[in-house]
Chains A and B, each alone.
Chain A
Amino acid sequence: MSQSDQAHSTRAGLEVGTKRLVFAYIVSATAWLVVGTAYGLIAAIKLYWPEAMEYSVLSFGRTRPIHTNVVLLGWSSMALMGVALYVISRSSKTSLYRPGFARAGLILWNICMVLTVITLSVGLTRGPQEYREILTPIMVLYAIGLLCNFYTAYQTIARRKVPEVYVSNWYIMGAFCWLATIVVIGYLPFYQNGMGNIVIQGYFMHNAVGMWFTPMVLGITYYALPRMLGKPIYSYALGVLAFWTAILFYTLIGAHHFIFSPVAWWIQTTAILFSVGMMVPVWAGFGNFFLTARGSWSRVRRDYAIIFLLVGVWGYALSSTQGTIEAFRSANIYWHFTNFTVGHSHLAMYGFVAFCIWGFVYGLIPKITGRGPSQAAIGFHFWLAFLGGSLYVVSISIAGILQGTSWVAGESFIASVDAAAPMWLWRSIGGFMMVFSHIVFLVNLWAMRPLPVPPASEMVEATA
């Protein structure tokens, strides 16, 4: 860590309790990352070697939903909530209001994660409705935890010591409200028989990704990127434009998961049209970050935290553009139902969301705890995750293209399985590197832990 960073870390002093809380969120999230991706690796290995680990609790149909729910809720969501608390407190220039609520939220979510793994392992599920598998009572607990967090977040922003609500907080507060809405709409039973369920399913799985993870990451990036580069964001107005257009367009495109389905045709067409519209907020956001980083390349090259974040920003542009193309009816014929979708979801949830989170953690946490891992250690994590993730995405996308081509050519079904199988091996190898990198991250995280502080300095006021 350089001299100027050291100076920063004193100026950026957060209340000790807040530091600990933010760190506890990130440690929990990372533990779930290791668990969740280990499940992913088991599922991946089984597709290549179906005789492996033949136990009902580890069968493919059980491990897959455990993998998705643990990485989405345990890793991505918890990590983002933790970093968001930091950003809210810093950008509002005040300490967290009643952090006890956010702490209760963390405890509740960890309990819920354990319950989720247990119930899904034994087949207690609402069925293969992606990301709505978790039983209703457990989901109610998650929602309570979310609201606890939102209470702390909102009240802190309400008590800010600056007149303006910084744009990061627009996205973060929005994301909390939107997720709460999505969960309620997704779980209320009144309109969910037959095709009603499918209309809601498209809305739910799409918006959970687009109106929770995406705005959380973007919002935090509006704070973290300028801070890590030591210069202001390129255009504040562009961030505001992307905010409103995203609400307008993203909300309407859930049905693109069910193109050619019996879902009403007007809903599908709306979804396709606005999927194109999404290019406005996507490229506004990407362009804004890209132009902010321009001219700082000498700094970027020396700092793996910024490299993580910029790779994540690229992941955002690439995966979103890919998603728009997938929504077209002509492309959908080839790609829908294939592994191409799995490539897309990992390019997005890994290449975009996870890489940005790593950028935030490496870039921001050492500033508050005053210590961190060496660049070499961060670089080791980066290259493992980057090469492993790339191998995963490229191989599984090829698998998808091979499957789609085989089906369109009218071959027997098993021909598409045979064609994809070698790619499933490569995916597992990439996946192994990814899981290994997560263990490296856990070790690196330990090197950033807050020092135990004597009680006298407990109340360091936020000043910067």
Chain B
Amino acid sequence: MSLHTQHNQLIGIAALLFLILSLVIAVLPAFEAERTPPLSGIEQLSDEAKRGRVLYLEEGCGYCHTQFVRDLPVDKPYGRGSVPGDYALEVPPLLGTQRTGPDLANVGVRQPSEIWNLIHLYNPRAVVGTSVMPSYPWFFDTKAAADEGDIVVPVPEAFKPDGQAVIAKQEAMDIVRYLQSLKQAEVE
């Protein structure tokens, strides 16, 4: 009965119990999980791809796209089941919890085309008619005529401003390089 009258003991026990359970179920296993070595086949990201990953975080792509394939028949289209070594180099890893769009863990293999990815980023509906993914026009310039060295994106007429050329900015290229880098490495 003493707990009912001793606020400090009561709260001390409740806090301590929670702390101990937290250490056992989260902190210690996290230390353990962190030590997993990366798969040897994982390539370092290029500078472009690294910047692309930052943009991927900033734009919140991960709220709609997982990078986490379960070892289940339903996930077969996206690649092999993910393993801890896939994520060892990632801070933060981008497994995700929701698939409003498809999984991207292996999209560099499934959809390697630079042109497709650029058009899709400019306006997803130009390549997938009923897509609900946002367009990212702020990663592109539009101008009357392309200059030397501009990367012109062949957006279908119906989806671009009349008579204008759509030019990929560096950000668009960075994101595409990042997407192209997403390839599942061999599990040894």
Contacts and interface: CB of A to CB of B under 8 A. Distances in A.
Interface of A: 46-48, 50-51, 54, 56, 59-62, 64-65, 123-130, 154, 157-158, 160, 163-165, 169-170, 173-174, 177-178, 181-182, 185, 190-203, 207, 211, 243, 247-248, 251-252, 254-255, 257-258, 260-264, 267, 270, 333, 336-339, 341-342, 403, 407-408, 410, 413-414, 417-418, 421, 424
Interface of B: 4-8, 10-11, 14-15, 17-19, 21-22, 25-27, 29-34, 36, 38, 57-64, 66, 68, 70-72, 74, 77, 82-84, 86-102, 124-125, 128, 130-138
Contact of A414 (B68, B128, B135): B128
Nearest to A49: B132
Contacts of B14: 170, 173-174, 177-178, 243, 247
A164 B4 contact: yes
B60 A128 contact: yes
B21 A248 contact: yes
A203 B26 contact: yes
A199 B11 contact: no
Nearest to A251: B21
Contacts of A123: 57-60
Given A126-B92, A194-B36, A252-B21, 20 more contacts: A46-B134, A60-B63, A123-B60, A165-B4, A165-B6, A169-B7, A173-B14, A192-B30, A195-B34, A198-B33, A199-B26, A199-B33, A203-B22, A258-B95, A260-B70, A262-B86, A337-B99, A413-B101, A414-B130, A424-B132
B34 A191 contact: yes
A159 to B, nearest CB: 10
Contacts of B38: 194
Contacts of A252: 21, 25
Contact of B64 (A60, A185, A198): A60
Contacts of B8: 158
A342 B58 CA distance: 22
Nearest to B4: A164
Contacts of A165: 4-7, 10
A415 to B, nearest CB: 10
Given A154-B11, A178-B15, A128 B132 contact: no
A47 to B, nearest CB: 5
A263 B64 contact: no
A251 B36 contact: no
Contact of A177 (B15, B27, B97): B15
B99 to A, nearest CB: 4
Interface of A is mostly: helix
A205 to B, nearest CB: 8
Contacts of B61: 61, 128
Given A60-B134, A129-B92, A341-B97, A194 B33 contact: yes
Contact of A65 (B34, B63, B90, B133): B63
Given A125-B57, A127-B94, A181-B18, A48 B132 contact: yes
Given A128-B62, A178-B18, A257-B97, A264 B29 contact: yes
A461 B103 CA distance: 61
A165 B6 CA distance: 7
* 8 closest cross-chain pairs (CB), A and B: A61-B60, A128-B62, A196-B34, A123-B58, A203-B26, A191-B30, A195-B33, A196-B30
A262 B72 contact: no
Given A61-B63, A262-B84, A157 B34 contact: no
B131 A251 contact: no
A251 B23 CA distance: 10
B24 to A, nearest CB: 8
A177 B135 contact: no
A185 B26 contact: yes
A396 to B, nearest CB: 12
Nearest to B61: A61
B123 to A, nearest CB: 9
A261 B60 contact: no
Contacts of B134: 46, 50, 54, 59-61
Nearest to A416: B99
B30 A199 contact: yes
Contacts of B62: 61, 127-128
B11 A195 contact: no
Contact of A247 (B4, B21, B30, B91): B21
A192 B91 contact: yes
A201 B71 CA distance: 21
Nearest to A207: B22
B10 to A, nearest CB: 6
Contacts of A170: 10-11, 14
Contact of B90 (A178, A182, A194): A194
Contact of A174 (B11, B32, B57, B135): B11
A337 B25 contact: no
